[in-house]
Structure 1
């Protein structure tokens, strides 16, 4: 609520009023806190929306207390990330061991007397194979495979199946480019068959490691989801406490505003009634909702309403005045064409804040005595 508006309500012509400045400062502080709470609500809502899509499994509990007790035994997200990194490093080490075992197979194949045509990249220009790249999409040879197996810069093979795939490619390229009766084709097919025999001996270990890694990844994912759920559950409880505190501050602020509201004159009421008729249908509906908040019997949605200005409380009249003033300013700027986006946003936030104060008052009135 701006100082100018507060001074209008109190009849104080001096904008430097210490009391009004204090009130404005309280409003600014509370609006800043509300902004932060809105962001937390958005984060939590976004998390649970994603959780519902992923069908996260979370610890069950019969009460909030049990939920808190369970959280004590759930490692934090940071610890879960550390555990995930540890498992990933262990899995990578086991895979490197399988790659070393695969190296034994590769040596047996490359030491065969028929392996020499496949040890280096095909000399396309030297052999005059002008159509080679039209037939072969991805050339491959054993020196390229060896270099990638020994790479230390992170570009090497990550899985033993990647190497086996490239070994097959060496022979299949040769079989694809050369006639099946040619020596190179026969040599490639023979070595491919020998490789497949030896690969079958290592395959059970590879399959076992893949299954183990899949299970560990599922466990890590579930543990991370549970930790995230526990963290957001705590965040939700903390947010609930903060919202309750903000609710109390809103009520205190409302009482301060009502206390400073002077009595509106008959002429001011007449001008207010005339200004209401200039509102857009949407803003007029919002204005009538302001009246209904403090007057439960008032039918704001009726086709015809009879608004008795003299029957309204001073706080309702001043809230209407502030709302109408802001709404007409926005309408004027919109009809003038462009500009005023920042002021429109500030006006909207102020009206939302006033609505929050009124809703707090209404809720308090409903509580049993």
Structure 2
């Protein structure tokens, strides 16, 4: 251990103190942690993870060997003198070795930091891959759900005349942004429908059942998000619809405002 174990006085410190053989009945009362060079050697060679983590830990145990001997034995005792002499020689050797120890520690810290960075980058790549795969799966699920929704809408019952009137009433009361969203729903299934202009002529009876139900679900969700009752999409509201249309038309003529749907009157069955 840095040249100390080869010294002629190293013998008493090579093996654990024979407490029983030497009759040192108070040894463990004075020495809290016994130490010797054979114990240090075994710990250096340990393969189970219980060994030293760095040179400084070894150095601390070497010091402990000599400090234990000096603590237990009187200053005039030969063992005390031998321990004190060997400790001084050890400190001299340690000072010479210290720059290399510092250099080695810096190198290890750098390697550990680089290894940690590599692990972090690998984890980020893995997480990015997982996120991409998850997004792909969600897209597939979303498309399937949309197809299922389209199927459900195609098989919906026919909307009644009263329901159409109520739906038209709600549409005329929407904000410009929400109205544009509703008109885009109509345009999705009706390429010839023009969702632009100061006044949009929306023939509610000419729309497919799936378009009508999409509009109803849209305004229902919209009303719920605004804290209003979805039941407002129902009942006999023909008069209200006409009044709202007339008011909207007057506003457009005066303020050149956003587009509003105009309701075509439903034909009475013959």
TM-score by length of 2: 0.56
Structure with the largest fraction of helix: 1
**Unaligned runs of at least 5 residues, structure 2:** 161-215, 236-270
| Offset, 1:197 | 0.6
Counterparts of 1:1-369 in structure 2, within 5 Å, are 103=1, 105=2, 108-151=3-46, 156-262=51-157, 293-295=218-220, 298=223, 302=227, 305=229, 307-308=231-232, 310=234
How far apart, in 1, do the equivalents of 2:61 and 2:79 lie? 18
| Offset, 1:252 | 0.5
| Offset, 1:167 | 1.0
Report if the CA contact (8 A) 1:292-1:300 is conserved. no
RMSD after superposition: 3.0
Report if the CA contact (8 A) 1:292-1:299 is conserved. no
How far apart, in 2, do the equivalents of 1:152 and 1:145 lie? 14
Q: Deviations over 1:214-263 (max 9, x none)?
A: 11111121222223223323333333333222221111011122333446
Q: 1:228 to 1:152 in 2, by over 3 A?
A: closer
How far apart, in 1, do the equivalents of 2:14 and 2:221 lie? 90
TM-score by length of 1: 0.42
- Give 1 or 2 for the bigger CA radius of gyration: 2
| Offset, 1:156 | 4.5
| Offset, 1:160 | 2.7
How far apart, in 1, do the equivalents of 2:150 and 2:71 lie? 88
User: What secondary structure is seen at the aligned counterpart in 1 of 2:121?
Assistant: helix
User: What secondary structure is seen at the aligned counterpart in 2 of 1:295?
Assistant: helix
How far apart, in 2, do the equivalents of 1:306 and 1:294 lie? 8
**Unaligned runs of at least 5 residues, structure 1:** 1-102, 266-290, 312-369
Q: Which residue of 1 aligns with 2:189?
A: none
Answer 1 or 2: higher relative contact order, Cα 8 Å, separation at least 6: 1
Report if the CA contact (8 A) 1:149-1:157 is conserved. yes
Aligned length: 180
| Offset, 1:306 | 7.1
| Offset, 1:191 | 0.7
Q: 1:135 to 1:249 in 2, by over 3 A?
A: same
Q: Which residue of 2 aligns with 1:326?
A: none
